[in-house]
Amino acid sequence: MVTAREVAEGVLDPELPVLTLADLGVLREVTETAGRVVVTITPTYSGCPAIDQMRSDLRASLAGAGYRDVEVRTVLAPAWTTDWITDAGRRKLAEYGIAPPARIGPRPAGPVPLNLTPPPSRVRCPRCGSAETVELSRFSATACRALRRCESCREPFEHVKEL
C-alpha cells in the first residue's frame, strides 16, 4: 500500500499544477496513527485562494488510496516562502516555461515590513535563458505570478514572484 505521505506528496498544487505539494514545500508533516492521517500544510501566498482546494485535493487523493480518516491542519508559522520550492520544483517550472523565483535566503526574524521590496534579481527567460526581460504586469493568471517579456526572443512568459 502506498503510504499516506507518498499520496500527499503527489497532490498537485491548484495554482501551479506542474508542481506537487512536495515540490512547493508546503507539506510540513504527514502522520498516520491507527488509521487516522493528519496532514500538516503551510499555505503558500495568503492571497491565493488555493488552500481550500489543497485541502479537498488532499482528502480526495488520500481517500482514493484508502485513507478515509483524514485531517488537514494548517500551520502559518514559519511563513512559507518561495525559497521552500525544491530544486526539482524549480526545474519543472522552467521546463513548463515559467520562470522560477530567485532564492532570497534567510530573512530577518519578526514581522515582515509591508514595504519589503524584492531583492534586485535578474529574471531569466525560461525559453532562451536571456536575462534581458521586463515586467509587463505584476499579476497574471494568479496573484502569485507576474507577466514578463523577453527582450531577446520577444516571448512573454510568467514568473513566480519571490516571496
| Residue ranges binding Zn ion (CB under 5 A) | 125, 127-128, 130, 150, 152-153
Residue with Cβ nearer Zn ion (86 or 152): 152
Residue with Cβ nearer Zn ion (34 or 134): 134
- Shortest gap between Cβ of 118 and Zn ion (angstroms)? 21
Amino acid at 113: P
* Residues with Cβ within 8 Å of residue 101, at least 6 apart in sequence: 82, 83, 85, 159, 160, 161, 162, 163
Residue with Cβ nearer Zn ion (59 or 145): 145
8 A C-beta contact, residue 102 and residue 85: no
The dihedral region occupied by 110, where left means phi > 0, alpha psi between -120 and 50, and beta the remainder, is: left
- Shortest gap between Cβ of 102 and Zn ion (angstroms)? 17
User: Which residue is listed with cell 507577466?
Assistant: 147
Residue with Cβ nearer Zn ion (59 or 124): 124
- Shortest gap between Cβ of 151 and Zn ion (angstroms)? 8
- Shortest gap between Cβ of 150 and Zn ion (angstroms)? 3
- Shortest gap between Cβ of 23 and Zn ion (angstroms)? 24
Phi then psi dihedrals of residue 64, to 5 deg: -65, -25
8 A C-beta contact, residue 41 and residue 73: yes
Residue with Cβ nearer Zn ion (5 or 127): 127
36/103 Cα distance (integer angstroms)? 36
Sign of the torsion angle spanned by Cα atoms 108, 74, 58, 29: positive
